[in-house]
């Protein structure tokens, strides 16, 4: 039950912006959108997250549509080291044991290949 | 600050053997998790813990057991190893003050433990 839909693969030229889309049409009001990436079967690495406002950090920008049914992760200047599988995840922010709190539901993600 | 540390990194087990995957974090995180990842697939949650003494099942708990006697450690036990448990196992942790995840806190992952059951 990944709750998100992402393209299987994308590619991008080095130095260009990589725009990774994600659909989460059933997202609830208290669910955050998270992005992680995984390089060569290493442990997943946190990139960014947001609830409804656009967010930016040193790694990427996250653009969430007004209806929150989709989002786009933007790597502004992709490098070869950004080649990885990118996971878009929705995560409940709720209190208490026994709920789905904290669970990250990973789908298969998007394989981003950055080429020279 | 080592983050999340998993041991061993690689292990081969025979069918029916038992073993424990160790996980430790030094960030004073209250939440800890175990995930498994099969080839070409995303991660699936096995068990998680919201604090010392409290554990709960995730999506795929069958064949595994966990304990959380301290804040720092969250070992995963395989009692009777089966070939279906061949996978990469990731431990993770996060901090949620008061158990409220509304702040959208980050989960930190270890580097993984590669387990093969033959």
Q: Does B109 touch chain A (CB under 8 A)?
A: yes
Rg (CA), chain A: 14
How do residues A41-83 score in pLDDT, each as one tens digit? 789 999 998 888 899 999 999 999 999 999 999 999 999 999 9
- A18: Cα within 13 Å, side-chain hemisphere: 28
Q: Quick check: A13 pLDDT over 50?
A: yes
Q: Do B107 and A45 touch (CB under 8 A)?
A: no
Considering only alpha carbons, which residue of chain B is nearest residue A111? B40
Q: Does A29 touch chain B (CB under 8 A)?
A: no
Considering only alpha carbons, which residue of chain A is nearest residue B87? A41
Q: Do A44 and B109 touch (CB under 8 A)?
A: yes
Q: Does A30 touch chain B (CB under 8 A)?
A: yes
Rounded CA separation A111/A107 (Å) = 12
Single out the residue of A74, A75, A101 nearest to residue A90, CA to CA: A101
In which band, very low, low, confident or very high, does the pLDDT at B18 lie, cut at 50, 70 and 90? very high
pLDDT given for residue A1 in this prediction? 47
Cis before B8 (ω within 30):
yes
Rounded CA separation A85/A36 (Å) = 8
């Amino acid at each position: 039950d990944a709750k998100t839909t992402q393209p299987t693969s994308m590619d991008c030229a080095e130095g260009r912006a990589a725009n990774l889309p994600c659909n989460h049409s059933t997202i609830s009001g208290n669910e955050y959108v998270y992005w992680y990436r995984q390089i060569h079967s290493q442990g997943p690495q946190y990139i960014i997250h947001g609830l409804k406002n656009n967010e930016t950090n040193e790694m990427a920008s996250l653009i969430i549509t007004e209806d929150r049914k989709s989002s786009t992760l933007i790597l502004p200047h992709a490098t070869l080291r950004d080649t990885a599988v990118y996971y878009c995840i929705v995560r409940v922010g709720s209190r208490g044991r026994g709920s789905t709190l904290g669970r990250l539901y990973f789908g298969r993600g998007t394989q981003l290949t950055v080429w020279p | 600050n080592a983050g999340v540390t998993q041991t061993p990194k690689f292990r081969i087990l025979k069918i029916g053997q038992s073993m424990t995957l160790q996980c430790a974090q030094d960030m004073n995180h209250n939440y800890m998790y175990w995930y498994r990842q099969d080839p070409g697939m995303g991660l699936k949650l096995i068990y998680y813990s919201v604090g010392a003494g409290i554990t709960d099942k995730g999506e795929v708990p069958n064949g595994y057991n966990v304990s959380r006697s301290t804040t720092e450690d969250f070992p995963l036990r395989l009692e009777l190893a089966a070939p279906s448990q061949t996978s990469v196992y990731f431990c993770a942790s996060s901090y949620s003050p008061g158990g409220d995840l509304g702040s959208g806190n980050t989960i930190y992952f270890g580097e993984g433990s590669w387990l093969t059951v033959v």
